[in-house]
Amino acid sequence: MTPDWPLPPRVNSVITTCQGQPAGAQGKLLNFLDDSDTCRQQVWRNRRDLAAQLGLNQTLPWLVQEHGIGVVDAADAIKHKSPRNADACVSRTPGLACVIQTADCLPVLFSSDDGSVVAAAHAGWRGLVAGVLGATVRAMDCEASAISAYLGPAISQQHFEVGGEVREAFLAKAQPTDQLSTEACFIPSKTRPAHFYADLYQLARIQLHGLGVTRIYGGDFCTYADTERFYSYRRQGQTGRMASLIWIKR
């Protein structure tokens, strides 16, 4: 799927679905998670075929995501033969994409207005609390007002039940001016005491606005409910991953 947001002419972005197959890919479902020997070769083929279909550098900077705030430069990442441990990627190199894998967590794509730098971040609730969006914006090294962001497929508030400790973690990190809006992102469960339904999309918007990134698009998906297009860890348990990519055209 092609994200619907205004990008500079030299920048492109793509988000895969569980059913969308690159030309030549094998198997029923498209998965990019390299987590077991049984599917590793198929995943490698999927990754290779995706890069080929999009006309990208065949060596993409696939990350080992840790729900943290580590940011790597794409060009530096591919110099290492093994995947880098990080949750965000920045690229200034034409044809070299940033790529993030998700299956309920929020993928956030970034572009500068002049198309000179792009980025992608893996933002689950732990990453949002830790500050992965701020780390990514800082790594882009340009004015935040000159950055736009796209919120890709993630679990919606209706299906994202969390414990009270998650709410408290966000409130503890929120700026004083954001306390009320952050608290409003948590709807109390009617059946489980001290549990809430969390709005990842709105929590990300609040943080991005606080960073100075005010042009924010997307954020109208639900990986849990949309069984035809998306993997969902909450719905399926052991499952595959979608890939969200952004790059500067050659």
pLDDT at 26 over 50: no
DSSP 67-105: SS--EEEHHHHTTSSSPEE-SEEEE-STT--EEEEESSS
E strand or H helix at 205, and its extent? helix 200-211
The domain in which residue 239 lies consists of: 11-156+211-248
pLDDT interval class at 33 (50, 70, 90): low
Q: Are residues 109 and 226 in the same domain?
A: yes
Q: Which residue has the tokens 């508030």?
A: 157
For residue 1, being part of any structural domain is answered with: no
Residue-wise pLDDT for 61-112, tens only, equals: 889 999 999 999 999 988 876 668 999 999 999 999 999 999 999 999 999 9
Q: Are residues 64 and 103 in the same domain?
A: yes
Predicted model pTM: 0.91
pLDDT at 27: 38
Number of domains in the chain: 2
Residue-wise pLDDT for 184-211, tens only, equals: 999 999 999 999 999 999 999 999 999 9
Q: Are residues 151 and 90 in the same domain?
A: yes
